[in-house]
Structure 1
Amino acid sequence: MIDLDRVVRDTPAAAHGVFLDSAGSSLPPSVVVETVAAHQRREAQVGGYRAAEERAADLAAVRTSLGLLLNVPVGTLALTDSATRAWTQFFYAVPLAPGDRILLCGVEYASNAVAALQRAAATGATVEYVPSDPTGQIDLDALAGMLDDRVRVVSLVHVPTNGGLVNPVREVVDLAHAHGALVLLDACQSLGQLRVDATALGVDALSGTGRKWLRGPRGTGFLYVRPGLVTALEPPVIDLFGASWTGRQSYALADDATRFELWESDVAGRLGLGAAVDYLLALGPDAVESAVTAHAATLRGLLAEIPGVTVRDRGVRRCGLVTFSVEGRDPAEVKAALRARDVTLVTTRRKSTLIDMTERGLEQFLRASPHYFLGPDQLATAARAVADLAR
């Protein structure tokens, strides 16, 4: 169980208003803020190189903490500047040729989709979309029917940006692996609110970010590549960190996932990411998942009781994202009106999840993402504010 008093003390801003945007960029705990600020102060005193050298062991410990969180070996992890960088570093490393097939899910995120389309155009591969089933999650029967030996990679969004569903991962992995296809899991919206065991899920790669549910700094991300696969792939972009210059016409890639990393980085941000992961591990991922899921269910229920409000969430298993619309009100105007009442949430637009939103006939709606640092009174306050606007 989460000690609400403690986590609010650790996040003073959480006590003011109602913060409902942890799916976008959450409120970091004080230890993260101080870790980042302290390192930046140290850089101002001695310079970036010396400051980084002083924290070499702590920087290495960031991968150790991520390994504990994901239940994977340290050598399978690369630190990046975003989840998008992590996703593309892996995706562009997968060999593709004319006739190869790329499968995206029906709730695919725009950044992943445009990268897949660009790569397909350059290689002669094709991009196809696995439909969603009536519940909104990936249609496993349809996936089974689409798979063949020409499918090279299946991109699966664990939790879509525009809804509260959780896609089944292990089932997708088992189907894809039966045909030799790789599974790349976008865990941007699941890590930090759900327990994610990459080894148990069996995915070939996983991308994640620090700024969302993990409550880490912006400009931080990470990539997991399963053991045995790392050395079979060459990243699309390398420098002297992920590779060594061995001769006039030669270089050698690192023999672990650091081959996907680049030299320049936000050292303070990475240390802050490590602090955020350690904070989560101390609370317990299971306790966090339980609290977030319960908060979302409570808010979803309160909103569903308001006349004129439609909850847009789908899926068999639901998580911490709550999406809804207010009849007759523009979502952007509702967002602004709620912000004036110190209720912070965002809108999600069709351009972010084009296939899913188009099929549902929706252009934009509101998204709330309550984290564990909120109390029940705050959820009720947010619902009352929405009810007032719905009138």
Structure 2
Amino acid sequence: MSNFNYEYENDENEAEIIRANNLFEKASHLKAQKNLKGAISLYQKSLKIYLNAGEYMKLAEIFNDIVSLVQKESEMLPIMERLRRTINAIEKLDILEELAKLKLAYANLTYKSSSYMDAGNLFIEVAELYKKVDEDEFRNLIGMFYLRAAECFEKISRTKRAEKLVLKAIRIFDSSIFDYRIYLKDLKSQIDKKKYLEAIETIREIAKFFRRLEIELETTPEQGDVLRNLKRNVLARLIHIVSEYNLLKMICFRFLDENDKVRAQAEKSINDLTKAIEMIKEELKHEYYSSADLHRLTFDIFLLQVFQEFADYQVEDPIFLIMSGLPKDVKEIIKKMKFYDYTVQLLELNLKDNADLIENMALSRVLDPYRDFIVKSLKI
């Protein structure tokens, strides 16, 4: 009798899993058809069945699909609550990697809701969980999560904490003796003392270091849309950082009256930034973004136009570059952002006649210490 009951329960469990699989496939089909409400409903039904059946490996995948679909706060709040309850249940089991994946879904949803403090802390938790699973195997992922956390804290002006996380990520990514902080200190001193040739060499070393990180990250395996989008976002961020340092290098060439090198650097950086912009736009298409990503996208087109202005070399239309292929609602948000407006002002006038923009705008962590240096270069 007991064997019969066991077989019956086993058959019933298998039937439920088959039902959940069918619901998941139908939900994915509705997602592809842009029937978001229907897709979310079916994903949630399949989620409940998988959880009851102990099929924990499917949970993160479903939550990630739901996260990519929800847009309004009213949609996000119940999903957050469900994610919290699921995480609480999984925390009682010894399956750290699945817990890390669920917390990553939660971090992405929190980031999408623009709750940057909570999102930053969650990305740190995800990094720490992957460390416990296998620090060597997931080294690049762990570094990416720390960088994502740093970006969250930068967004809310917690710059010291952001800097610590960037340095932590660098130590994870790179085991060489490169000391980023020493190079930054040297660079500031060299530029302040107008030792521009030395500053150019220092920037080359910093840029080479970040390029190494890019190459390292590009070899990281991609497991699903979530990690693919995260990797793309972090790569775009590294390209952005290199471009900021290369702007300083180009200005050093300008002070040295090396106009050919100014032009050559502008060409390289325009290509780099175009690549970064396309990476972020690809992320927007997958709905894994918040206003912080849109801010960085508009800052990238502003930076691209600054390179073109310095080199007197207009090859890209930054407005077309940012807007082409984006949904109408995203375009409307972008048009209201400060750096989009700054870019339009540069196109209408020019950089020299807009020096007050640089004097008064909020610059990045990399460029802000060099504000006076940048402004002075406009007077040459």
TM normalised by structure 1 equals: 0.24
Structure with higher RCO (Cα < 8 A, 6+ apart): 1
In terms of Rg, which structure is larger? Answer: 2
TM normalised by structure 2 equals: 0.25
